[in-house]
Amino acid sequence: MDAVNRININSSNYLTQAAQNRQADASSPLPSDKVDIKDVPVKDLMDEKSMRSFLKDMPKVDLHRHLEGSIQPKTLISIAKRKGIELPTYDEAELKPYLQITDKDKTLLDFIKKFDTIGKAFTDKEAVEEVTYEAVKDANDDNVKYAEFRFSPVYMASQYGMSVEDVMKGVLDGVARAKKDFNTETGLIMIVERQMGPEHAAFVEKLAEQYKDQGVVALDLANDEFNFPPGPYAQVFQQAKEAGLKVTVHAGEAGGAENVRVSIEDLKADRIGHGVRTFEDPAVEKMVRERGIPLEMCPTSNVQTGATKSLDSHPFKKYYDEGIPVTINSDDPSVSNITLTDDYVKIVDKFGFTLRDVEKFVMNGLDAAFLPKDEKEALRQKYGAEIAQVEQEYVVAHPFNTGVR
Task: By CB under 6 A, name the one of 41, 59, 69, 294 that touches ligand ADE.
Answer: 69
Would you say the C-alpha torsion 235, 236, 237, 241 has a positive or negative sign?
positive
d(CA 349, CA 354): 10
Which is nearer to Zn ion, 155 or 353 (by Cβ)? 155
Active-site pick, 253, 285, 296, 391: 253
Residue 387, H or E segment: helix 373-394
Ranges within 203-232 binding ligand ADE (CB under 6 A)? 222-223
> Reduced to 3 states, what is the DSSP secondary structure of residue 250?
strand
Select from 129, 270, 331, 343 the one that contacts ligand ADE (CB under 6 A).
331
| Residue 271 binds to ligand ADE (criterion: CB under 6 A) | no
DSSP string, 318-362: HHHHHT--EEE--BSHHHHT--HHHHHHHHHHHHT-BHHHHHHHH
Is 250 a residue that touches ligand ADE (CB under 6 A)?
yes
Q: Contacts with Zn ion: how many residues (CB under 5 A)?
A: 1
Nearest approach, Cβ of residue 293 and ligand ADE (Å): 18
Binders in 171-210 for ligand ADE, by CB under 6 A:
none
We find the least distance from the C-beta atom of residue 184 to Zn ion, in angstroms, to be: 19
253 binds, among ligand ADE, Zn ion, none (CB under 5 to 8 A by kind): ligand ADE
Residue of 289, 290, 270 whose CA lies nearest to 370: 270
Our CB check for Zn ion shows the closer of 304 and 401 to be 304
Give the separation between CA 260 and CA 293, rounded to whole angstroms: 10
The yes-or-no answer on residue 253 being catalytic is: yes
320, 294 contact by CB (below 8 A):
no
Task: Please select the residue that binds ligand ADE; options are 123, 300, 301, 339, rule is CB under 6 A.
Answer: 301
* 368: enclosing H helix or E strand: helix 355-368
Check binding of 398 to ligand ADE (CB under 6 A). no
Q: How far is the CB of 29 from ligand ADE (least distance, A)?
A: 43
Which residues in the 317-356 window bind Zn ion by CB under 5 A? 331
In terms of phi and psi (left: phi > 0; alpha: psi -120 to 50; beta: otherwise), the region of 69 is: alpha
Q: For 21, what's the count of Cα atoms within 13 Å in the CB-facing half-sphere?
A: 3
- Catalytic residue numbers read 253
Residues that bind ligand ADE (CB under 6 A): 66, 69, 108, 111-112, 222-223, 250, 253, 301, 305, 331-332
